[in-house]
Chains A and B, each alone.
Chain A
Amino acid sequence: MHSDHGEKIMVVNNQINSREEMQMLTFSLDNVMYGVNVSQVREVKNFEGVTPVPYAPVYVKGVTNLRGEVIPVIDLRRRFGMICEKDENTNIMIIVQDKHPVGIMVDSVMEVLTLSKNDIESNTDSLIVDKSEAVLGVAKHDKELIILLDLQKVISKDPLTLKEDNRGFQVQVQNQPKQ
């Protein structure tokens, strides 16, 4: 009986594996839906403001206090090179990068979806991603398309251009009347 029961469980597990389903946490950014493997996300919190850090890369919104721990918060919109500014109704997804928590600012976190790998287009030849490796593929769900991301690669410096560290420029002018 124990053996049979054990085999049965194995079969069920194999069926799950053969169906190759993924649980993705979905979120929106500029009305586009993105998905990230739930295992990459530790928690989600509301955006409660961040403290800007001088000379930080432009995509680093600042730092925030997470239960006594100071963590960096990355503005995903800027990380993607999107220009428009929008800080309302935002969520922060907390992920862990090299054992350190990092906050990722998005418009809103939606829901956890179970997606079959059959619904995922992961042929990068048909995706314009320029070797970033951060885009795992595009999933079809109902009539929506969901861009699946590897958040670890999105926030790591390497695959995306290093030059972003050198972004931002301003000119301040003081006009002095003739003495």
Chain B
Amino acid sequence: MEHSEVKSDNARNVILSYNDKIYYVNGVNVHVQEGADKLKAIFHAKRASDNALEDLDIEINQGTYDILMEYAKLDKLDLIMVLQIEGNSSKWCLMSEDWLRNQVNSAGSKSYIV
């Protein structure tokens, strides 16, 4: 069994929406098995509502795995990643905090919370 790791000190925790709850995820352990469509992943998460720590056992697809790896490799504090997993489908969004701040600060725009 081979192990590898991509560690980023500067990337923010991934903001995860899962089972109608919001989490901050600071690490993911992925078990890659040759030939399998889905990958078993354990998300090390902190529930946003009460800061409770949870390990979430979730099956992810190759696309989600790829974007998590890329996000860790980018190692940029300015980026915010939001990942939504519902059943078998997942969506992700990558944003620049600077860009978000500019949107909020520009005249006429409404403030919002990520």
Asked whether B35 lies within 8 Å of A178 as measured between CB atoms, the reply is yes
Name the one of A81, A166, A172, A173 contacting B24, with C-beta atoms under 8 angstroms.
A166
Partner of A174, one of B3, B34, B71: B3
A94 CA / B1 CA spacing, docked (Å)? 45
Q: Does B50 contact A (CB under 8 A)?
A: no
Q: How large is the interface on B (under 10, 10 to 19, 20 to 34, 35 or more residues)?
A: 20 to 34
B23-44 interface with A by 8 A CB criterion: 24-35
B3 with A170: CB separation less than 8 A? no
In-complex Cβ contact of B31 among A55, A166, A174, A179 (8 A)? A174
How many Å from the CB of B17 to the closest CB on chain A?
Answer: 15
Interface 1/0 per residue, A131-143 and B, CB below 8 Å: 0000000000000
Residues of A within 8 A of B25 (CB): 169
| Distance A55 CA – B25 CA, assembled complex (angstroms) | 11
**A:44-82 near B, CB below 8 Å:** 55, 58, 78, 81
Interface residues in A151-179 by Cβ distance below 8 A to B read 163, 166-179
Is B98 engaged at the interface, CB distance under 8 Å to the other chain? no
Chain B residues with CB under 8 Å of A12's CB are none
* A1 at the binding interface (Cβ < 8 Å): no
A residues contacting the other copy or chain, number (CB 8 A): 20
Q: How many interface contacts (CB-CB < 8 Å) are there between A and B?
A: 92
Asked whether A83 is an interface residue with its Cβ less than 8 Å from the other chain, the reply is: yes
Cα separation A15 to B112 with both chains bound (whole Å): 54
Q: Flag if B33 contacts A178 (CB, 8 Å).
A: yes
Interface majority SS (helix, strand, loop, mixed), chain B: strand
| CB neighbors of A among B1-28 (8 A) | 1-14, 24-28
**B38-67 vs A: 1/0 string, CB under 8 Å?**
000000001000000100000000000000
Residue among A170, A177, A179 facing the most chain B CB atoms (10 A cut-off): A170
For A172, give its contact among B3, B35, B71 (CB under 8 Å).
B3
| Other contacts beyond A58-B9, A170-B6, A173-B5: 13, CB < 8 A | A55-B26, A167-B9, A167-B77, A168-B12, A168-B13, A170-B5, A170-B28, A171-B6, A172-B28, A174-B29, A175-B3, A175-B4, A178-B35
- Report the 7 A-B pairs with minimum CB-CB distance, sorted nearest first: A178-B34, A170-B7, A166-B13, A169-B11, A175-B2, A170-B27, A176-B33
Interface of B with A (CB < 8 Å)?
1-14, 24-35, 46, 53, 68-69, 71-72, 75, 77
